[in-house]
């Protein structure tokens, strides 16, 4: 049970992120989660959107080279140490986290996780009663 993450690179300069997000919103694509990593003059953007196919189309139309990745959306248990619960479960499975960031527009606390062993991560999280989201997350 994975969802699609939209990935692209932009120039690391004022206004580029705002321009990308504005074009998504103008095309009725909501940004549900966002990760930004910068490296000197370049930035990598990772989005979870309400419509990954439309987001890809809009961003490609703007001239960006756009990719997608399969990622996990996991609900953080609602108790003190809930985040650590997920981290320990993945550690116990020998799973490395490549990227981690929160959802912005969900009622429950949801993490987006890109890991090195997706299938194993899904199994170990489900076996430890962690709620996972599929495409239903796009409409929350």
How many domains would you assign to the chain?
Answer: 2
* pLDDT tens for each residue of 12-44: 999 999 999 999 999 999 999 999 999 989 999
pLDDT of 101 over the 90 cut: yes
pLDDT of 129 over the 90 cut: yes
- Please tell me whether residues 54 and 95 are part of one structural domain: no
Q: What is the pLDDT of residue 97?
A: 97
The CA distance from 39 to 9, in Å, is: 11
* CATH code for the domain of 29: 3.30.2130.10
Cβ neighbours of residue 29 under 8 Å, at least 6 residues apart? 49, 50, 51, 54, 55, 58
pTM across the whole model: 0.92
Q: Which of 21, 48, 69 is the last residue of a domain?
A: 69
- Please tell me whether residues 8 and 32 are part of one structural domain: yes
- Please tell me whether residues 65 and 81 are part of one structural domain: no
- Please tell me whether residues 90 and 110 are part of one structural domain: yes
- Please tell me whether residues 63 and 111 are part of one structural domain: no
- Please tell me whether residues 35 and 62 are part of one structural domain: yes
């Amino acid at each position: 049970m994975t969802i699609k993450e939209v990935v692209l690179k932009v120039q690391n300069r004022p206004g580029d992120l705002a321009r990308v997000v504005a074009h998504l919103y103008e095309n009725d694509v909501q940004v549900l989660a966002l990760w930004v990593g910068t490296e000197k003059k370049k930035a990598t953007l990772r989005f979870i959107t309400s419509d990954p196919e439309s987001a890809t189309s809009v961003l490609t139309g703007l001239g960006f080279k756009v990719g997608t990745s399969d990622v996990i959306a996991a609900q953080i248990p609602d108790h003190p140490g809930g985040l650590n619960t997920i981290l320990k479960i993945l550690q116990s499975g020998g799973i490395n986290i490549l990227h981690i960031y929160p959802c912005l527009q969900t009622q429950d606390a949801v993490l987006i996780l890109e890991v090195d062993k997706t299938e194993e991560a899904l199994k170990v999280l489900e076996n430890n009663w962690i709620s996972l989201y599929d495409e239903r997350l796009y409409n929350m």
